[in-house]
């Protein structure tokens, strides 16, 4: 059951990933990602159905457009596989919550619909992080057209969740929204809204300060907007763990590139992929990180 569902979630993820590629490509052309047929961005040939199969088509076409033979970017299969894997990791995290099981989800109740809705919103957050990261990696720009609506929607969703928590509407909500899991207590107990707003202030504050002090040389204001998004979706202390992972991985990659002389001290390294990497790691494995690593420190 779990294996076949995991496979289905992966396939679904690659299909969404292929849509994310369209969003990333068409963001430049100022075209709607949902209107019209998919086409080759080089020769504008309309793609046939077998050229639209995620991952498979890229390898079947040997990475070239069937009409103009232009080399296709590795972005396509990588985003598709990455989205598929991300959906699978999130699915597994979801089933590590002790109160979630197949029996609960097989009966359509208000409870199970709410849990399903929460899961869909997580998938949406993953999609936003992937789009923003890939776009920043390619263009050194934060795609506000995607990020700003996500910030507004997520902020209201988290406020609604907060009221549901306070009204003790569903007993499981306080656990469902904690990616660090049961053992997250090592960071102390705080009420929902304190966690939410201190997460936002911490995340946005620290990146804004870095942008201001370095005069936009290391990071841009776009990164501060992304930090605001992370503060909203993760809250305190999740966002702290995400930032630690982001700065550590960013530092390792920057030093490696300097060492290999691929970059100089003056070159710019897009930071959104690292912030997203930190956030995704917390969302997928936060509970395991706390249990296996952080608890050892305390």
Question: Candidates 2-10, 67-75, 204-212, 251-259 — which segment interacts with Zn ion by CB under 5 A?
Answer: 67-75
Q: Of 43, 186, 244, 255, which one interacts with Zn ion (CB under 5 A)?
A: 43
Question: Candidates 62-70, 131-139, 152-160, 236-244 — which segment interacts with Zn ion by CB under 5 A?
Answer: 62-70
- 49 vs 298 by CB, closer to Zn ion: 49
Q: Of 5, 68, 120, 186, which one interacts with Zn ion (CB under 5 A)?
A: 68
Burial level of 247, CB count in 10 A (0-12/13-18/19+)?
A: middle
Burial annotation 10-42 (CB, 10 A radius, 16+ → b, else e)? bebbbbbbbbbbbbbbbbeeeeebeeeebebbe
Q: Are 88 and 6 in contact (CB under 8 A)?
A: yes
Total residues at the site for Zn ion (CB under 5 A)? Answer: 6
CB of 131 to Zn ion, least distance (A): 23
φ, ψ for residue 66 (rounded to 5)? -70, -20
Whole-angstrom distance, CA of residue 280 vs CA of residue 285: 8
42 binds Zn ion (CB under 5 A): yes
Burial annotation 72-86 (CB, 10 A radius, 16+ → b, else e)? bbebbbebbbbbbbb
160 binds Zn ion (CB under 5 A): no
Token reading at 163: 């009221």
Q: Are 245 and 277 in contact (CB under 8 A)?
A: yes
40 binds Zn ion (CB under 5 A): yes
CB of 40 to Zn ion, least distance (A): 3
CB of 70 to Zn ion, least distance (A): 5
65 binds Zn ion (CB under 5 A): yes
CB of 21 to Zn ion, least distance (A): 15
SS3 39: strand
Token reading at 164: 């549901």
61 binds Zn ion (CB under 5 A): no
227 binds Zn ion (CB under 5 A): no
CB of 39 to Zn ion, least distance (A): 8
- 39 vs 56 by CB, closer to Zn ion: 39
Question: Candidates 60-68, 95-103, 186-194, 205-213 — which segment interacts with Zn ion by CB under 5 A?
Answer: 60-68
CB of 68 to Zn ion, least distance (A): 3
Report which of 121, 133, 122, 135 is spatially closest to residue 33, judged by C-alpha positions.
Answer: 135
Chain residues in the site for Zn ion (CB under 5 A): 40, 42-43, 65, 67-68
């Amino acid at each position: 059951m779990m294996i076949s569902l995991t496979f289905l979630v992966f396939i679904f993820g690659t299909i969404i990933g292929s849509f994310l590629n369209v969003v990333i490509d068409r963001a430049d052309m100022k075209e709607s990602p949902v209107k019209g047929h998919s086409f080759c961005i080089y020769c504008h040939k309309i793609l046939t159905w077998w050229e639209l199969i995620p991952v498979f088509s890229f390898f079947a076409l040997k990475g070239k457009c069937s009409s103009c033979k232009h080399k296709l970017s590795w972005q396509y299969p990588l985003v598709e596989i990455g989205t598929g894997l991300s959906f699978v990791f999130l699915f597994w995290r979801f089933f590590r919550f002790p109160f979630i099981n197949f029996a609960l989800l097989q009966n359509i109740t208000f409870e199970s619909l709410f849990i399903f809705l929460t899961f869909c919103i997580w998938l949406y957050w993953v999609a936003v992080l992937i789009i923003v990261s890939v776009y920043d990696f390619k263009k050194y720009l934060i795609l506000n057209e995607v990020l700003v609506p996500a910030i507004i929607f997520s902020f209201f969703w988290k406020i609604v969740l907060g009221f549901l928590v306070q009204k003790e509407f569903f007993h499981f909500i306080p656990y469902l929204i904690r990616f660090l899991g049961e053992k997250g207590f090592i960071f102390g107990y705080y009420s929902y809204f304190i966690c939410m707003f201190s997460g936002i202030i911490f995340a946005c504050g620290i990146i804004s300060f870095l942008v201001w002090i370095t005069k936009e040389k290391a990071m841009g204001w776009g990164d501060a907007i992304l930090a605001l998004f992370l503060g909203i979706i993760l809250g305190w202390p999740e966002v702290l763990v995400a930032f630690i992972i982001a700065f550590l991985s960013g530092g390792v990659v920057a030093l490696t590139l300097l060492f290999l002389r691929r970059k100089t001290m003056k070159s710019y390294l897009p930071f959104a992929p690292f912030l997203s990497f930190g956030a995704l790691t917390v969302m997928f494995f936060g509970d395991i990180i706390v249990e296996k690593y952080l608890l050892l420190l305390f």
